[in-house]
Structure formats: C-alpha cells, structure tokens
Amino acid sequence: MIDVVVDDLASVTADAIVRPTTTRLTPTTPAGERLARAGGPAFAAASVARTELAVGAAVVTAGGALPVEFVIHAIVASETVPVTATSLGRAWLSALERAKEWQFARVAVPPLHTGSAEFRLAAVAETMLGVLRAHQATGGHPTSISFVVESEEERAVFSAAVQLSRVIPL
C-alpha cells in the first residue's frame, strides 16, 4: 500500500521513519530538524556519525522519544555537494534495503530533497516512485509506504506521481 498524507513527520506512527540527511547525519530539511528536536536527547545521541558516511548510503538508529522505534537516515548529500537525482535514488534504495533487512513493514518517508529550486518536487516524486517500483519487484518489506508531506500542494504533486506510477509496468 502506498499513501500520501499531510502530517508532521515527527508525529506519524510506522515501523520506521526515513530521514534525509548529510554524510554527517545532519538533517537536510526543516522536517528533519523538527524530527531531531522531537526525538530528544536519546535520538540526538544515536544520530551522531562517528565518521563521514557515503552519499547514497542509509543507516538505522533508535528513534528516541519519537513515536517510532527506528529511524532510517537516508544520506542524500554531503555538506558541500547538493542533492541530485542520482544521490536521492541511491539513498532511497539504500533506505528501502535497510527496511527489508530489518523487516520494517510500515515505513513513513518525506520527500527526500532540500526544497531547492533546481530539484523540483515532481522530479523528487518521480525518482522516489521509480526506485520504489524497482524495489517492490524484489518482494518483501516494506509492504506499506506513507509519503508524509507538509502541504496540500505537496500532497497533490505526490498523489499525481503515485497515480501515474500505477500505469507504468514494473
């Protein structure tokens, strides 16, 4: 099941939440910053990168005070290199692979971008759904994805992309 909801990422329930980050696990979006604050000290302690991680990777940490037990950090950019379609796709695929390994059935994810004008939301949605279609062909987890957006406008963009993705064969 795939759905698109307007909500605060820090308040959704799922088996895991995906959080777009840099190679140092710093948030790339305001939603990611709110997630860090809501997670409290336990989340902050778990979300420290001891070494710089690779763009395109994903790591699982504890959720701290969040309503989810786990957070998957999708590393979409470095401190100096912005998000690209390639880095976003690799990081989203890595996040889906972590969900499969950890057997997270229900995953909540925001658009994995920084809101930059260079990378439109429609392109983000198209990239994320293309990666999701390819991952689903391998079977297994996750079995439910909630795209968590912040406005009705974002919901309309993601919902349209979800509808279009249904007509494209896997």
DSSP string, 100-130: HHHT-SEEEE--SS---TTS-HHHHHHHHHH
Is 2-167 in CATH node 3.40.220.10? Answer: yes
pLDDT at 169: 36
Q: Quick: pLDDT tens for 1-51.
A: 899 999 999 999 999 999 999 999 988 888 888 999 999 999 888 888 888
Task: List the domain boundaries for the chain.
Answer: 2-167
- Amino acid of residue 38: A
Instruction: Work out the percent of the chain whose per-residue pLDDT is above 90.
Output: 62
> pTM here?
0.91
Which among 33, 24, 16, 22 is positioned nearest to 150, based on CA atoms?
Answer: 33
Q: What does the mean pLDDT of the chain come to?
A: 89
Rg value, the chain, Cα: 14
Whether pLDDT at 94 is above 90: yes
Whether the bond between 142 and the residue before it is cis, its omega within 30 degrees of 0, is yes
